[in-house]
Protein backbone atom coordinates (compact mmCIF):
# COMPACT_ATOMS: atom_id res chain seq x y z
CA UNK A 1 0.00 0.00 0.00
CA UNK A 2 2.87 2.38 0.79
CA UNK A 3 4.33 1.82 -2.70
CA UNK A 4 1.03 2.68 -4.40
CA UNK A 5 0.67 5.81 -2.24
CA UNK A 6 4.21 6.90 -3.21
CA UNK A 7 3.54 6.37 -6.92
CA UNK A 8 0.28 8.34 -6.74
CA UNK A 9 2.03 11.16 -4.83
CA UNK A 10 4.85 11.43 -7.41
CA UNK A 11 2.40 11.30 -10.34
CA UNK A 12 0.30 14.04 -8.66
CA UNK A 13 3.34 16.32 -8.56
CA UNK A 14 3.70 16.08 -12.35
CA UNK A 15 0.00 16.90 -12.79
CA UNK A 16 0.18 19.88 -10.42
CA UNK A 17 3.59 21.14 -11.66
CA UNK A 18 3.84 20.23 -15.39
CA UNK A 19 6.68 22.73 -15.92
CA UNK A 20 8.89 20.28 -14.03
CA UNK A 21 8.74 18.02 -17.07
CA UNK A 22 9.48 20.75 -19.65
CA UNK A 23 12.33 22.26 -17.61
CA UNK A 24 14.73 19.83 -19.28
CA UNK A 25 14.23 21.39 -22.72
CA UNK A 26 17.11 23.64 -23.74
CA UNK A 27 16.12 27.30 -23.99
CA UNK A 28 18.01 30.29 -25.39
CA UNK A 29 17.50 33.84 -24.14
CA UNK A 30 19.24 37.21 -23.98
CA UNK A 31 20.10 38.70 -20.57
CA UNK A 32 19.79 42.33 -19.46
CA UNK A 33 23.40 43.01 -20.52
CA UNK A 34 22.95 41.44 -23.95
CA UNK A 35 24.61 38.06 -23.30
CA UNK A 36 23.09 35.08 -25.12
CA UNK A 37 22.57 32.20 -22.69
CA UNK A 38 21.44 28.60 -23.24
CA UNK A 39 20.08 26.56 -20.35
CA UNK A 40 18.01 23.49 -19.65
CA UNK A 41 16.92 25.00 -16.34
CA UNK A 42 13.93 27.17 -15.64
CA UNK A 43 14.19 30.82 -16.72
CA UNK A 44 12.63 32.92 -13.99
CA UNK A 45 12.84 36.32 -15.70
CA UNK A 46 13.79 36.09 -19.38
CA UNK A 47 14.33 39.50 -20.92
CA UNK A 48 14.18 38.50 -24.58
CA UNK A 49 13.85 35.29 -26.49
CA UNK A 50 16.57 35.29 -29.16
CA UNK A 51 13.96 35.40 -31.94
CA UNK A 52 12.54 38.65 -30.45
CA UNK A 53 15.77 40.68 -30.29
CA UNK A 54 15.50 43.47 -32.85
CA UNK A 55 18.63 45.40 -31.91
CA UNK A 56 22.28 44.87 -31.14
CA UNK A 57 22.94 46.43 -27.70
CA UNK A 58 26.69 46.42 -28.37
CA UNK A 59 26.10 48.82 -31.27
CA UNK A 60 26.35 51.65 -28.73
CA UNK A 61 29.87 50.49 -27.86
CA UNK A 62 31.04 50.50 -31.49
CA UNK A 63 29.28 53.40 -33.20
CA UNK A 64 29.79 57.01 -32.17
CA UNK A 65 28.63 60.35 -33.48
CA UNK A 66 31.73 62.46 -34.17
CA UNK A 67 29.64 65.36 -35.50
CA UNK A 68 30.35 67.65 -38.43
CA UNK A 69 34.04 68.42 -38.08
CA UNK A 70 35.72 71.69 -39.04
CA UNK A 71 38.79 73.62 -37.90
CA UNK A 72 39.02 77.20 -36.65
CA UNK A 73 41.83 79.49 -37.85
CA UNK A 74 43.50 78.88 -34.49
CA UNK A 75 43.69 75.16 -35.31
CA UNK A 76 41.05 74.15 -32.76
CA UNK A 77 38.73 71.35 -33.91
CA UNK A 78 35.01 72.16 -33.91
CA UNK A 79 32.52 69.32 -33.64
CA UNK A 80 28.92 70.28 -34.38
CA UNK A 81 26.00 68.04 -33.46
CA UNK A 82 22.22 68.32 -33.77
CA UNK A 83 20.15 66.63 -31.07
CA UNK A 84 16.37 66.52 -31.47
CA UNK A 85 14.34 65.67 -28.35
CA UNK A 86 10.85 64.23 -28.59
CA UNK A 87 8.51 63.05 -25.84
CA UNK A 88 5.66 61.67 -27.91
CA UNK A 89 6.87 58.10 -28.28
CA UNK A 90 5.83 54.83 -26.71
CA UNK A 91 8.60 52.25 -26.78
CA UNK A 92 8.70 48.58 -25.81
CA UNK A 93 11.35 48.41 -23.07
CA UNK A 94 10.85 44.68 -22.38
CA UNK A 95 8.65 42.15 -24.18
CA UNK A 96 5.08 43.29 -23.64
CA UNK A 97 6.10 46.28 -21.47
CA UNK A 98 5.51 49.67 -23.10
CA UNK A 99 6.57 53.02 -21.68
CA UNK A 100 6.37 56.68 -22.66
CA UNK A 101 9.94 57.80 -23.32
CA UNK A 102 11.96 60.89 -24.21
CA UNK A 103 14.02 60.16 -27.30
CA UNK A 104 17.10 61.97 -28.56
CA UNK A 105 17.41 61.65 -32.35
CA UNK A 106 14.76 58.95 -32.11
CA UNK A 107 16.68 56.64 -29.77
CA UNK A 108 16.90 55.65 -26.12
CA UNK A 109 19.60 56.11 -25.03
CA UNK A 110 20.45 59.13 -27.14
CA UNK A 111 23.43 59.12 -29.48
CA UNK A 112 26.93 58.99 -28.03
CA UNK A 113 28.73 62.28 -28.61
CA UNK A 114 32.44 61.67 -28.92
CA UNK A 115 35.13 64.34 -28.87
CA UNK A 116 38.72 64.94 -27.85
CA UNK A 117 39.49 67.08 -24.81
CA UNK A 118 39.96 70.65 -26.03
CA UNK A 119 37.63 70.35 -29.05
CA UNK A 120 34.99 73.07 -29.31
CA UNK A 121 31.58 71.39 -29.09
CA UNK A 122 28.59 73.07 -30.71
CA UNK A 123 25.36 71.22 -29.98
CA UNK A 124 22.19 72.44 -31.68
CA UNK A 125 19.38 71.27 -29.41
CA UNK A 126 15.86 71.19 -30.87
CA UNK A 127 13.01 70.41 -28.48
CA UNK A 128 10.15 68.86 -30.45
CA UNK A 129 8.56 67.63 -27.22
CA UNK A 130 5.44 69.01 -25.59
CA UNK A 131 7.29 70.13 -22.42
CA UNK A 132 10.20 72.47 -21.74
CA UNK A 133 13.55 70.69 -21.66
CA UNK A 134 17.29 71.26 -21.51
CA UNK A 135 20.44 69.24 -22.00
CA UNK A 136 22.64 69.04 -18.93
CA UNK A 137 26.16 67.92 -19.77
CA UNK A 138 27.65 66.51 -16.59
CA UNK A 139 31.10 67.93 -16.01
CA UNK A 140 32.61 71.37 -15.66
CA UNK A 141 31.14 73.81 -18.17
CA UNK A 142 30.25 77.51 -18.10
CA UNK A 143 26.97 77.98 -16.20
CA UNK A 144 25.23 79.44 -19.25
CA UNK A 145 25.99 76.22 -21.17
CA UNK A 146 25.23 73.72 -18.40
CA UNK A 147 21.54 73.07 -19.05
CA UNK A 148 20.42 74.83 -15.89
CA UNK A 149 19.49 78.34 -16.97
CA UNK A 150 18.56 77.94 -20.63
CA UNK A 151 15.17 76.21 -20.52
CA UNK A 152 14.26 75.35 -24.11
CA UNK A 153 10.61 75.81 -24.98
CA UNK A 154 8.42 73.03 -26.28
CA UNK A 155 7.24 72.39 -29.83
CA UNK A 156 10.38 73.34 -31.75
CA UNK A 157 12.29 75.46 -29.22
CA UNK A 158 16.01 75.72 -29.99
CA UNK A 159 19.23 76.44 -28.15
CA UNK A 160 22.87 76.05 -29.22
CA UNK A 161 25.27 74.88 -26.54
CA UNK A 162 28.93 75.73 -27.12
CA UNK A 163 31.82 74.76 -24.85
CA UNK A 164 35.22 73.10 -24.85
CA UNK A 165 35.23 69.34 -24.37
CA UNK A 166 36.71 68.33 -21.04
CA UNK A 167 37.64 67.11 -18.59
CA UNK A 168 38.33 63.63 -19.97
CA UNK A 169 35.60 61.18 -19.01
CA UNK A 170 32.07 60.03 -19.66
CA UNK A 171 29.53 62.82 -19.34
CA UNK A 172 25.89 61.69 -19.67
CA UNK A 173 23.35 64.25 -20.83
Residues 6+ apart with CB under 8 A from 14: 20, 21
Last residue of a domain, one of 10, 31, 52: 52
Confirm if 149 and 107 have CB atoms less than 8 A apart.
Answer: no
User: Do residues 35 and 67 both lie within one domain?
Assistant: no
Q: Give a yes or no: residue 169 inside a domain.
A: no
What's the alpha-carbon Rg for the chain, to the nearest Å? 26
* pTM score, whole prediction: 0.62
Q: Give a yes or no: residue 170 inside a domain.
A: no
User: Do residues 147 and 81 both lie within one domain?
Assistant: yes
Q: Give a yes or no: residue 117 inside a domain.
A: yes
Q: Give a yes or no: residue 91 inside a domain.
A: yes
Structural domains in the chain (count): 2
User: Do residues 156 and 119 both lie within one domain?
Assistant: yes
Q: What are phi and psi of 19, to 5 degrees?
A: -65, -20
Residue 36 domain boundaries: 2-52
User: Do residues 9 and 37 both lie within one domain?
Assistant: yes
Query: Given CA atoms 66, 70, 74, 75 in this order, what sign does their dihedral have?
Result: positive
User: Do residues 70 and 149 both lie within one domain?
Assistant: yes
Provide DSSP, the chain: -HHHHHHHHHHHHHHH-THHHHTTS-EEEE-TTS-EEEESS--SS-SEEGGG--S-TTHHHH--B--EEEE-TTS-EEEEEEEEEEEEEEEEEETTEEEEEEEETTBSSPPPB---TTPEEEEEEEE-SSS-B-----SS--GGGTTSS-PBPTTTEEEEEEEE--SSS----
CATH of the domain at 64: 2.60.40.420
Q: What is the pLDDT along the chain (173 residues), one digit of tens a residue?
A: 666 666 655 556 555 555 555 545 666 656 555 556 666 655 555 554 545 556 666 776 777 778 899 999 999 999 999 999 998 777 776 677 777 888 899 888 888 888 999 999 999 999 999 999 888 887 767 777 777 677 888 889 999 999 999 888 888 87
User: Do residues 35 and 109 both lie within one domain?
Assistant: no
User: Do residues 48 and 64 both lie within one domain?
Assistant: no
Last residue of a domain, one of 15, 35, 52: 52
Give pLDDT, residue 63: 75
Confirm if 57 and 63 have CB atoms less than 8 A apart.
Answer: no
User: Do residues 8 and 84 both lie within one domain?
Assistant: no
User: Do residues 65 and 135 both lie within one domain?
Assistant: yes
Q: Give a yes or no: residue 172 inside a domain.
A: no
Amino acid sequence: MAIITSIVAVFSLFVIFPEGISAQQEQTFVTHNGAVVQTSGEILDPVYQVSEVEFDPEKYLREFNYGRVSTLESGQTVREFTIIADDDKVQEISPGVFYNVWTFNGTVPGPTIRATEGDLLRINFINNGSKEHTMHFHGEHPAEMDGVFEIVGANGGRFTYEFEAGPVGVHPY
